[in-house]
Amino acid sequence: MRLPPAISAYTEEVLREILRFTGPADRVLSRYFKDHPKIGSRERGAIAEGIYGLLRNKSVYSSFSESGSGAPMRRLALLGLADAVGVDSLGGLTIEETEWLNRVMLIDRTILPAMMRSNLPQWLFDKLLAKFGEEQTLQLAESLNCQAPLDLRVNAIKTTREAVVATLAEAPIIAVPTPYAPLGLRIIKKPSIQNLPLFQDGSIEVQDEGSQLLAQVLGAKRGEMVVDFCAGAGGKTLALGAMMRNTGRLYAFDVSDKRLAKLKPRLARSGLSNVHPVLIAHENDAKIKRLAGKIDRVLVDAPCSGLGTLRRNPDVKWRQSPNGLAELNVKQIGILAGAARLVKPGGRLVYATCSLLDEENDAVAEQFLAAHTDFTLVPMKDVLAEQKIALEMGDYLKLLPHLHHTDGFFAAVFERNK
């Protein structure tokens, strides 16, 4: 069944706004759909897929679009839609457009230059090339340009992984245990899970396996005082609260009341009563100072470039810049130093990002250790052995989509000397 001709016009219109890169693509899309309520759900799906396909493959499509005729933005929109739903599903095409799209879709992309094939901006391609070499950079880029599967975390205070697998099978939804996270499930086809009783009663949460592992390496235990320093919408907070078996005190700090507001309904579903959301002004807020030296474990999932999450947010690679990275670096170092004050002697501090870049990861960890001689690095291989996670790592956790099938994540574990 063909999509109506208006689809390409809608896609072109929203694409024009998204390619200004003034904000996240998902936010621009959802606002556009809100402003155009007459667009049906099938059409919305096609537009979203077309836009995301284009953002993933922007270098290749920008090059391909130069060979067509007509308005440049329409050509780009048509390439995204053709890749998402197929040329034959598009209504309202001219004969020339149909022929051009069919011709372009047959081009062998493996013979294109490496830089174009990666669909990464030049500065990012150069950084990854210097770190990984060409072959691994292209493997990494290819995995970043694929859609992520849907990962779930089972809420252990409500149910078990086996019980959730059995219940999902009745839906019927096939879920397989994730290889590393003990409470993770991976769903290959992405069903809508918001209406499932399992989701509504808090038995499952959507959370990438890599993100689940960050909570694991903090190693929070029953009865402890724990802080999630940059809690955001609370995915890791909820995982930590369940690890603590709903005991002790878990503070969820964040500078954004909007993000903390998103935690509230999730918290209500989860059945946790040990979580205390706290709005802070900055990393030196007086609310933090009151807890200085009293906390057993602190997780700092720092604001970062987000370049490890390109499978979900392909626009990030085009919105991020080297200048933006330098600003983030200052924040990361300041936030980690602020969070470190909370940790009691013998306590654990975890610094984490969803970035692939050394300057946001290893360099920050090393700078922290140089400036804080009262902290020692705990090798990640020891932490993973303690948590019974079968992953080969050295000093740091470095998860990569093409190797571990998670988002790209980094973590360093520090301990305050007794």
Classify strands 184-187 and 375-378 as parallel, antiparallel or unpaired: unpaired
DSSP for 318-333? HH--HHHHHHHHHHHH
Starting at the edge strand found earlier in the chain, the sheet holding 150-154 runs 175-177, 184-187, 150-154, 204-206
The alpha-carbon radius of gyration of the chain (Å, integer) is: 23
- Closest C-alpha among 113, 115, 90, 114 to residue 100: 90
Q: Where are the beta strands (DSSP E) in 95-203?
A: 150-154, 175-177, 184-187
Q: How is residue 44 written in tokens?
A: 């919305």
Rounded-to-integer distance, Cα 361 and Cα 359, Å? 6
First to last CA, the chain: 68
304 is catalytic: no
Please check whether residue 299 is in contact with residue 351, taking contact to mean a CB–CB distance below 8 angstroms.
Answer: no
DSSP 251: E
Classified as helix, coil or strand, 343 is strand
Cα separations in angstroms, 382 against 243, 289, 375: 19, 31, 16
Please check whether residue 349 is in contact with residue 340, taking contact to mean a CB–CB distance below 8 angstroms.
Answer: yes
- Closest C-alpha among 198, 174, 184, 189 to residue 151: 184
Q: Where are the beta strands (DSSP E) in 245-328?
A: 249-254, 275-279, 295-301
Rounded-to-integer distance, Cα 177 and Cα 61, Å? 36
Q: Which of 146, 230, 304, 354 is catalytic?
A: 354
CB-count exposure of residue 293 (10 Å: 0-12, 13-18, 19+):
exposed
Rounded-to-integer distance, Cα 22 and Cα 34, Å? 19
Please check whether residue 266 is in contact with residue 292, taking contact to mean a CB–CB distance below 8 angstroms.
Answer: no
Rounded-to-integer distance, Cα 67 and Cα 57, Å? 16
Catalytic sites, residue numbers: 354
